[in-house]
Amino acid sequence: MSNSRITRLLHLENDDAYHAMSMPIYQVSTFDQHNSNAFEYSRVQNPTRRYLEAQLAILDEAHAAFAVSSGLSALNIVLSMLKAGDELIVGCDFYAGLSFILEEMCQDRGIVIRQIDLQEPHNLTQAISAKTKMVLCETVSNPLQKIAPIADLAKITQACNICLVVDNSLMSSYGFMPLKFGADIALQSSTKYLVGHADVTSGVIATNTRFKEKIAKIIRQTGYALDPFQAWLLSRSLKTVHLRMAEVTKNAAAVYALLKASKCFKSIYYVGDLTQKHAHWLSENCESLGGLLAVECFNQAQFEQFYQKLKSYFPKTVSFGAVHSSLSHPASMSHKDVQKLQQIQLQVSPWLLRLSIGCEVLADTLTIFQEFIDEYNQTPKAAKAEKTENTEEKQGCKKSINQY
């Protein structure tokens, strides 16, 4: 039997002249080609990046993987394969940072965008037309953790010869392998779990298909490739990705169990919540679930109490997936400029906090939540306010959170 992905990744040899045990950083832009044509120019290819890309291909079990400057550039590269008149189908709650590319760059180029709920495969069957060229979905959406049934969607796109692109950032290629379930292109923001230390912005595109040559050409000719130093940092991070993912998955599951059992919250969105659609399928087919949770409070008073409690332990950051825990407030951060395409994202509650659970000692993390639960349960009923929604209060909150 061949070794598992991680063992192959750890044993991957490099061709360094001195047999260095870590692939050196080839901090160089251009190569003397009198004696070798292996490399010419680092925008085209570089030894450190080539090594990283071999590691990334192992993780995604792909024929080819490309390391680029960010998750958004990975998306932009793939979307730039579309031409005027082509139709692109996207999910309802796609990554908020993609709005500009979709609404200005793609639409200005004459690409028609249709937005449907991709949790239901029959919606896709109905939406496809002769002009549909690409479907873009997220394995798990952010922050509401909706799961796309990739295998079912792939059956439909394959039958119609349409390219299925999966943004796998919330799972990472260690956690889940979209290509194995029929996706044509798996991409991710490796800024998140693969890097895992909040110190490199980068993206990955993996594929087994004919798109390989086209993607390689776009990267070469438009200058999206990851630079040697960042490539080295990402390469280094990959050697411990399985340890970090196992830890955050365990920690997030424990936080979810505690919060759920407390019955103190309106909703908790978590990919491991087996009552949600496609969660069984994903749990059975993934290596790890990752560390994201989104917790929705009942009202402003509870939200403030919760936020004040978490503040000292959880830095407030965009992004997620680092070894340290962090929180974000989607309504005032990632989702503050909701554009017309993102109708479902309008429903992100102002009392929703997204938590990225890290690798701190679990007992310490749980203590923060247990303290909140105890304090909340002791709060007099009147001070808790009604456990009902109040729209005016919700809108007010959108503004007030910026003052925190």
Ligand X SMILES: *Cc1c(COP(=O)(O)O)cnc(C)c1O
Closer residue to ligand X (CB): 24 or 97: 97
Determine if 72 is a binding residue for ligand X (CB under 6 A). Answer: yes
Q: How far apart are CA 2 and CA 121, in angstroms?
A: 35
Q: Which helix (H) or strand (E) covers residue 302, if one does?
A: helix 300-310
Would you give the binding string for ligand X spanning residues 89-118, x where CB under 6 A is met? ------x-x---------------------
Candidates 191, 249, 300, 349; binder of ligand X (CB under 6 A) is: 191
- Please state the closest distance from residue 170 (CB atom) to ligand X, in A: 6
Candidates 42, 169, 172, 251; binder of ligand X (CB under 6 A) is: 169
Helical ranges in 80-149 per DSSP H:
99-100, 107-108, 121-127
Determine if 178 is a binding residue for ligand X (CB under 6 A). Answer: no
- Please state the closest distance from residue 37 (CB atom) to ligand X, in A: 33
Determine the residue with CB nearest ligand X: 71
Phi, psi of 113 (to 5 degrees): -110, 130
Q: How far apart are CA 89 and CA 73, in angstroms?
A: 19
Look-up of token digits 């040697």: 228
Taking the CA atoms of 383, 385, 391 and 394 in sequence, report the sign of the dihedral they define: positive
Look-up of token digits 């993609």: 98
Closer residue to ligand X (CB): 70 or 300: 70
Region from 186-194, 210-218, 230-238, 389-397 binding ligand X, contact rule CB under 6 A: 186-194
Using CB under 6 A as the binding criterion, the count of chain residues that bind ligand X stands at 15
Determine if 355 is a binding residue for ligand X (CB under 6 A). Answer: no
Candidates 123, 201, 262, 276; binder of ligand X (CB under 6 A) is: 201
By CB under 6 A, the residues from 270 to 329 that bind ligand X are none
Strands 203-207 and 267-269 come out as: unpaired
End-to-end CA distance of the chain: 55
Determine if 203 is a binding residue for ligand X (CB under 6 A). Answer: yes
At 75, the amino acid letter reads: L
Region from 43-51, 149-157, 162-170, 261-269 binding ligand X, contact rule CB under 6 A: 162-170
Helical ranges in 160-225 per DSSP H:
172-175, 211-222
Burial 175-190 (b: 16+ CB within 10 A, else e): bbbbbbbbbbbbbbbb
Determine if 70 is a binding residue for ligand X (CB under 6 A). Answer: yes
Summarize as ranges the residues that interact with ligand X (CB under 6 A): 70-72, 95, 97, 138, 142, 167, 169-170, 189, 191-192, 201, 203
